[in-house]
Amino acid sequence: MLDKRPPAMERDPEQRRPVRIMAAWRPADNRGGMFRDSEPQQAPRLFHRLLPEAFALMRERWIPYGLLALACALSALAVFKKIDLLAVFASGDPLVVLRTPPINVILIAALIAIFFVLPSALRRIQPSFKMTAWRAVITLATLFCVGVATEIGYAAAVIPGIIVGVLMSQALINALLRTGERSSAREAAQTVWGAFRGSFHLTRDHFVTTLGITILSLTILGIPFTLGLIALLVGDSLDARSLIAAAPALFMTFIYCECLRYVLIVRWYRRLEIAHANRELPVAPATTTLPATRTIRRIA
């Protein structure tokens, strides 16, 4: 029989083009219940649009923050004629002023507000996150354990306390992202313990930078709140009625600084997580160029 195939020189030149065949892809990382590509990921920029992002975080829960600010204003309205905060502050024990009605209401409202700020910040890296009653219990348990461990370190010496505080600084976020919306007490204990281990593994190779972020986050919260408290005391001594406006203003200052602080903390946690994941990824084999008539594509 005659060979009816066209000569090689008459074949379609498109069929002789070399194509790239991808080989041996890395296994996918499915942590957090969501498929993620195992390719090295780009870490978020820490300070990019940090101030506007904090405002956006604050606006997400403006109704509860507004109600808490109203409670602060009402507490100041009830006592502004009966108490001189600056005189209490100068009485010999400055901490006594923290137990006065307007100030302790601000502190209680700030504690409640954390349970709104924290989930809003965590949704920046896990959009489906919800703060449930069980996760609130995990939050309190983790904060208690971190506080006890840090105080033990401070009791032994200052340096061990600082080291423990830095190494455990990511435990709370790690615990909340690891735990489900419902779980048993045993699973909760395992979650908290795993969160401490996870925080240690994330921060041990980035200790100095994590220390810097921790100091910066505390400064973001501490300095404006302290200055606002001093302004509240001075304003109360000049005109007692100023306390009615100063109390909610101090509370909202705390909320904004807390939003700013947690945006920074969550971004740093994400950077640590990406650095840790990329460090554990194996190196992908090089691509091979072979002549072929079609391209082989990855479908899963």
Contact 296, 21 (CB under 8 A): yes
pTM: 0.74
Q: Which amino acid is at 264?
A: L
CA distance 198 to 174: 7
Q: Is the pLDDT of residue 265 over 70?
A: yes
Note the pLDDT tens digit of each residue in 171-202.
999 888 888 767 777 887 888 888 889 999 99
pLDDT mean across residues, the chain: 79
Note the pLDDT tens digit of each residue in 223-236.
999 999 889 888 88
Task: Produce one character per residue of 43-71: b if its CB has 16 or more CB atoms within 10 Å, e if not.
Answer: eeeeeeeeeebbeebbeebeeebeebbeb
- Longest CA span, the chain: 115
| Residues of the chain above pLDDT 90, percent | 34
